């Protein structure tokens, strides 16, 4: 391994790339990682000098607080390459702000902006060959922070590790998914951590989602825990409903993640003159709209899946099927988002961030 | 290190004990660990052969699912030694059943009973010197399970690690604590994972607890997330209220942990002829009882703290102080529980489990 120093980051390059061992036509989401990873430890009350080094296992004490108390947050972002080989991130400032908002709620120290961006950019330059051009290809980036202090008292840790790992991705969920509207289980409470990308929010959904999958539904649309009468989000995606020509999506609150794809779609809808109401959405109104033919589409929006059309929902034991139109809003937004992300369409809002 | 095999567990003994480096008179909770740890991996659809080996750091992939999705559960138990050197656990069957209940909710495979008990007993025999006799001394045992599969898709892992680590303990919280009744933040939702010892339940409390501590209150008594009108639990302890000569504690539900100390106190109260009502407890009735002098005590109950008297609570900006009586129920229950645990009092319910 050769050691070099780029600005403040200490870099140890991999002696040999693994890229030739990877079949980019047959990628499962999040299973293959690039040659390098970014690591920065919080010790003695401050973030220490960041490092980039070969991707690989790390050593950690069994008493590290992340294992016992779930003091951990993450982000999901993607890098895209255009046909000229230029590399872009999409609204990375949003992810930076959100990981620190998540960290604050989980009593984790905030991460410096310069380290975040310098880390991402240096890593992307080193592993640029892993980003394949073409719509549908991307490099999924996973910044995350874990509490590493080796002591099992139930209080905030004094040491942490911030990391970025990268995994090449093809588009996630190519087929339409069927969902269940939650009636028994819940994702988050008022006054809880649902708005944060806190690790524990995700593991808590696995069991109810497994139950749904056994019944033929891939995901759950979570409802408010108090009444199960209002539709909130899908756990890894925010949710949009098209009733007539109008879009409706739930407002952000302390239970719902402030999704970057969600807020981009709200802006794009405004650009295109599509009415979009951000307000509480009741299960009853969506069932009524399905019955009277006004419900045209439901789709999920998130970094991993971009826009994911939903072909049916179940509630109270009844399944409601959606017509999947060729001119759907889901297709329009997906095409527009991918066009901007891959530098094939005008970026009127300055969302692309070129990595140079 | 010498290698031996005890029944099904593969044992690698530490070459030298660290015990002489430890000051048992000055122990901070959960910072010092014994010479050995128990490790059992779930792979290929089953729990593999368990191991006991020297306590130390382990190697894990940065993409291990526990770091990203908080798929992790734990237990807290204690081992006690009497003056004849006999070692006891307290109701370990309750912890065994609960860790599997927690695991089921977090989509983690259940752990075999024989591995759990054989693991605990073998570990305790090896590290028996770390259990000091005398009321107040114990060895805190931390069984836990983490998702180890190196893949960041948001679904249940296919590989896990079950571990037991052990930390010598003096009594936790010797002083009475002051608490705040939660009015903004929440611990768990109906239909969520509050009843499970899921890692993420604990990290989510750190930030609100830090805010409370800045105002001079050590802990929060969580209320129901919907209305904040009913008192539930303290996050690391269940809560009892003494109004007149009567005890009141909240019923178990999907938000509240089914505490072993809690259920033992309910039984002991029955044994002693103390009325104990298990029902919803409203903030208003406790404030009213405090105002009219009927509120005699509030105390927490949990494995780490045993019984922890509360000297004051705050609600709506007002502090209510409790008289701390010498003949408090808190002292009576603590003394009775410690007496049973340390084999100094009759174990009428068969709660002691001797390690032989």
**B160 and B242 belong to one structural domain:** no
CB-based contacts of A282, cutoff 8 Å, min separation 6:
A229, A230, A231
Contact state of B165 with A60 under an 8 Å Cβ cutoff = no
User: Among residues 234-273 of chain B, which lie with CB inside 8 Å of chain A?
Assistant: 235-236
Q: Which residues of B77-90 are buried (b: 16+ CB within 10 A; e: fewer)?
A: bbbbbbeeeebbbb
Residue with tokens 């394949």: A132
| DSSP tag of B254 | T
Assess if residue A356 is contained within a domain. no
Distance CA B254, CA B263 (A): 16
- Testing the interface with B: which of A39, A51, A67 to mutate, by most B Cβ within 10 A? A67
From residue B345, alpha-carbon distances to B92, B328, B349, B352 in Å are 18, 19, 12, 11
Residues of chain B in contact with residue A192, where contact means CB-CB under 8 angstroms, are 185-189, 204, 225
User: Among residues 289-328 of chain B, which lie with CB inside 8 Å of chain A?
Assistant: none
Contact state of B70 with A198 under an 8 Å Cβ cutoff = yes
What integer pLDDT is reported at residue B304 of this predicted model? Answer: 87
Residues of chain A in contact with residue B146, where contact means CB-CB under 8 angstroms, are 67
Q: Percent of chain A having pLDDT more than 90?
A: 92
- H or E segment and range at residue A116: helix A113-126
**B243 and B117 belong to one structural domain:** no
**B71 and B109 belong to one structural domain:** yes
pLDDT tens-digit series, residues A86-117: 999 999 999 999 999 999 999 999 999 999 99
Tell me: pLDDT of A249 over 50.
Answer: yes
The Cβ-side half-sphere exposure at B162, using a 13 Å CA radius, reads 27
A33-42: average pLDDT:
98
Residue A253, domain extent: 177-341
Is A103 in the B-facing interface, judged by CB distances under 8 Å?
Answer: no
For chain A, how many structural domains are there in total? 2
Assess if residue A347 is contained within a domain. no
Report which of A289, A288, A280, A284 is spatially closest to residue A242, judged by C-alpha positions.
A289
| DSSP tag of A347 | -
- For residue A278, the SS3 value is strand
**B160 and B11 belong to one structural domain:** yes
Interface predicted TM-score (ipTM) of this complex, two decimals:
0.96
**A22 and A158 belong to one structural domain:** yes
What integer pLDDT is reported at residue B1 of this predicted model? Answer: 43
Q: How far is CA A228 from the centre of its chain?
A: 24
Residues of chain A in contact with residue B141, where contact means CB-CB under 8 angstroms, are none
Tell me: pLDDT of A293 over 80.
Answer: yes
Geometric angle at alpha carbon B66, from B60 and B72, rounded to 5°: 120
Contact state of B225 with A144 under an 8 Å Cβ cutoff = no
Tell me: pLDDT of B5 over 80.
Answer: no
- Name the residue of chain B whose CA is nearest to A107's CA: B207
**B160 and B192 belong to one structural domain:** no
Tell me: pLDDT of A173 over 70.
Answer: no
Assign residue B281 the CATH number of its domain: 3.20.10.10
**B229 and B115 belong to one structural domain:** no
Assess if residue B132 is contained within a domain. yes
CB B65 within 8 A of CB B148: yes
Of B122, B150, B169, which residue sits at a domain end? B169
CB B261 within 8 A of CB B337: yes
Contact state of B69 with A206 under an 8 Å Cβ cutoff = yes
Of A138, A153, A169, which residue sits at a domain end? A169
Contact state of B191 with A200 under an 8 Å Cβ cutoff = no
Q: Give alpha helix (H) positions in chain B.
A: 65-69, 92-105, 113-126, 199-214, 260-272, 283-291, 329-341
Structure tokens at B61: 């992939």
A118-142: average pLDDT:
97
pLDDT tens-digit series, residues B307-330: 999 999 999 999 999 988 888 999
**B209 and B143 belong to one structural domain:** no
The per-residue pLDDT of chain A, averaged, comes to 95
A297-315: average pLDDT:
95
Of B169, B197, B221, which residue sits at a domain end? B169
A18-38: average pLDDT:
95
**B271 and B191 belong to one structural domain:** yes
- For residue A92, the SS3 value is helix
**A158 and A290 belong to one structural domain:** no
Distance from CA of B336 to the nearest CA of A (A): 26
Tell me: pLDDT of A4 over 90.
Answer: no
What integer pLDDT is reported at residue A170 of this predicted model? Answer: 87
pLDDT tens-digit series, residues B111-153: 999 999 999 999 999 999 999 999 989 999 999 999 999 999 9
């Amino acid at each position: 391994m050769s050691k070099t120093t780029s600005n403040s980051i200490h870099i140890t390059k991999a002696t040999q790339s693994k890229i030739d061992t990877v079949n980019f036509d047959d990628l499962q989401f999040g299973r293959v990682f690039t040659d390098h990873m970014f690591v920065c430890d919080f010790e003695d009350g401050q973030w220490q000098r960041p490092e980039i080094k070969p991707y690989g296992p790390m050593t950690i004490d069994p008493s590290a607080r992340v294992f016992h108390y779930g003091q951990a947050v993450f982000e999901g972002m993607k890098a895209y390459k255009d046909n000229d080989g230029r590399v872009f991130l999409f609204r990375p400032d949003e992810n930076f702000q959100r990981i620190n908002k998540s960290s604050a709620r989980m009593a984790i120290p905030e991460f410096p902006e310069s380290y975040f961006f310098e880390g991402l950019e240096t890593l992307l330059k080193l592993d640029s060959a892993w980003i394949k051009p073409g719509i549908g290809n991307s490099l999924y980036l996973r910044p995350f922070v874990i509490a590493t202090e080796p002591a099992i008292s139930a209080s905030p840790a004094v040491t942490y590790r911030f990391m970025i790992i990268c995994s090449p991705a093809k588009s996630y969920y190519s087929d339409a998914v069927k969902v269940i509207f939650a009636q028994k289980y819940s994702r988050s409470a008022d006054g809880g951590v649902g708005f944060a990308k806190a690790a524990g929010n995700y593991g808590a959904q696995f069991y109810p989602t497994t139950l749904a999958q056994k019944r033929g539904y891939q995901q759950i649309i979570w409802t408010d825990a108090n009444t199960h009468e209002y539709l909130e989000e899908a756990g890894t995606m925010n949710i949009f409903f098209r009733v007539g020509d109008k879009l409706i999506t739930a407002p952000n609150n302390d239970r719902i993640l402030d999704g970057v794809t969600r807020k981009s779609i709200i802006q794009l809808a405004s650009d295109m003159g599509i009415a979009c109401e951000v307000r509480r959405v009741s299960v009853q109104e969506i069932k009524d709209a399905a019955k009277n033919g006004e419900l045209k589409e439901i789709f999920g929006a998130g970094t991993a899946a971009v826009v994911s059309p939903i072909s049916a929902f179940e509630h109270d034991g009844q399944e409601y099927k959606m017509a999947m139109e060729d001119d759907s809003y889901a297709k329009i937004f997906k095409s527009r988002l991918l066009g901007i992300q891959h530098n094939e369409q005008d970026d009127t809002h300055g969302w692309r961030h070129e990595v140079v």
